[in-house]
Amino acid sequence: MSCSPMPSDYHYVKLKSDCSRSSLQWYTQAQNKMRRPSLLLKVIFKYMLPVFGVCIILYIIKLNYTTEECDMKKVPYVDPDRIKRAQKYAQQVLQEKCRPNFAKKSMARLFETYKMDLLPFVKKAPRVNEAEYKYDPPFGFRQFSSKVQTLLEVLPEHDFPEHLKTKSCRRCVVIGSGGILHGLGLGHALNQFDVVIRLNSAPVEGYSEHVGNKTTIRMTYPEGAPLSDLEYYSNDLFVAVLFKSVDFNWLQAMVKNETLPFWVRLFFWKQVAEKIPLQPKHFRILNPVIIKETAFDILQYSEPQSRFWGRDKNIPTIGVIAIVLATHLCDEVSFAGFGYDLSQPDTPLHYFDNLCMAAMNFQTMHNVTTETQFLLKLVKAQVVKDLSGGIHCEF
């Protein structure tokens, strides 16, 4: 088990203090010097990790006091013509005929290794599904099989809910956190999709004109789960992305409406939600094979070489994972709020906070270039629609 800093698509990017950096470098150097760490070193690592955690906490506290560089509380100016064209385009997408299985079939055509029958969520099964346990998290649950089994015992449902399954053709939209969403007034159009997938803590409250106020799926790792009860609607599915040992403890506590022990809380790199106001039947675990498929089969990243996640920039962002998930869940897929334009360092990174695009240059988990090329390929092949035009503008 490790308590190294977790990949966040927006908090980790700012973790560039000397504090976190030097610990990482120190670890790397130590690792290079000694192929097989001695017992002494192991003991040092074991006790260094909490110190490392404290570093991160101090840095996050510091983060809260940084200046407001790209403050999103002010709605940015967007050309009224562009707003009109975006809204018209979204309505046009909604009015096109829905083609059953279109997303899956198209993905299989584009990517030979795409598996059309992958389950979206982890399920109780009479036999262990080997693919789920082949890799360490986030690509699999190797060494976590007993924790997974325990969790599955407390989750009453593992499927897509019946009322969504019965619809003969589903249109889904994945809403990214991109600053490009702000000002386009797409909320009304986004609410008309059958399934609306939101990521991490991306809020609805205060932004619904631009991001809508319907949520069907909230997909997040523990640290990303919204802290405010207002962000949960009673019918949402909460889809957990699990990375580390304590993530399983956290999810179990949330499902059973129990209090997380204080010592467990120390292992998170950021404050985690204490209660999730949803019934147990609304929780799911993302099938880690979807992350594996996204990373190795679709983006063609190399398989993990080290214990430190993201050292190889081989962790897909949760946004890209959600788009691949959507192709498995839905017949037609659109997205909005995607696209990092690194050539515009002073533009807002997200629609809801004050980070600037430049922050993306400091993250160490994700290969933005590869992801952008992948999304561009999907949009150009007309497999998915880009409603805010941050990847490829069709309006």
Q: Tell me the window of 130-138, 318-326, 349-357, 363-371 that interacts with ligand NAG (CB under 6 A).
A: 363-371
Q: Check binding of 367 to ligand NAG (CB under 6 A).
A: yes
| Calpha distance 363→368 (Å, rounded) | 10
Q: Check binding of 308 to ligand NAG (CB under 6 A).
A: no
Q: Check binding of 313 to ligand NAG (CB under 6 A).
A: yes
| Calpha distance 197→177 (Å, rounded) | 11
SS3 305: coil
| Stretch 228-247 residues interacting with ligand NAG (CB under 6 A) | 233
Could you give the dihedral angle defined by the CA atoms of residues 101, 200, 131 and 367, in that order, rounded to the nearest 10 degrees?
90
| Calpha distance 77→91 (Å, rounded) | 22
Site track for ligand NAG across 318-357, x = CB under 6 A: ----------------------------------------
Site track for ligand NAG across 260-299, x = CB under 6 A: -----------------x----------------------
Q: Tell me the window of 158-166, 169-177, 290-298, 367-375 that interacts with ligand NAG (CB under 6 A).
A: 367-375
Write down the least CB distance from residue 172 to ligand NAG, Å: 17
Q: Which CB atom, from 111 or from 233, has the smaller least distance to ligand NAG? A: 233
Farthest-apart Cα atoms in the chain, separation: 66
Beta bridge partners of 332: 171
| Calpha distance 343→255 (Å, rounded) | 43
| Calpha distance 286→248 (Å, rounded) | 12
Which amino acid is present at 106? S
Q: Which CB atom, from 31 or from 213, has the smaller least distance to ligand NAG? A: 213
Which amino acid is present at 146? S
Q: Identify the residue among 271, 306, 361, 369 touching ligand NAG (CB under 6 A).
A: 369
Residue spans of beta strands (DSSP E) within the chain? 171-175, 195-199, 217-220, 237-240, 283-285, 332-336, 384-386
Q: Which CB atom, from 213 or from 354, has the smaller least distance to ligand NAG? A: 213
SS3 86: helix
| Calpha distance 232→202 (Å, rounded) | 12
Q: Check binding of 257 to ligand NAG (CB under 6 A).
A: yes
Write down the least CB distance from residue 366 to ligand NAG, Å: 9
Q: Check binding of 218 to ligand NAG (CB under 6 A).
A: no
Nearest to 78 by CA among 351, 360, 357: 351
Q: Which CB atom, from 347 or from 370, has the smaller least distance to ligand NAG? A: 370
Q: How far apart are the first and last CA of the chain?
A: 48
| Calpha distance 95→309 (Å, rounded) | 42
Contact by Cβ (8 Å): 128, 140: no
Q: Check binding of 370 to ligand NAG (CB under 6 A).
A: yes
Q: Check binding of 11 to ligand NAG (CB under 6 A).
A: no
Q: Identify the residue among 129, 213, 347, 354 touching ligand NAG (CB under 6 A).
A: 213
Q: Identify the residue among 11, 214, 218, 284 touching ligand NAG (CB under 6 A).
A: 214
Beta bridge partners of 285: 240
Q: Tell me the window of 5-13, 33-41, 320-328, 364-372 that interacts with ligand NAG (CB under 6 A).
A: 364-372
Write down the least CB distance from residue 354 to ligand NAG, Å: 25
Tell me which residues touch ligand NAG (CB under 6 A). 213-214, 233, 257, 277, 313, 367, 369-370
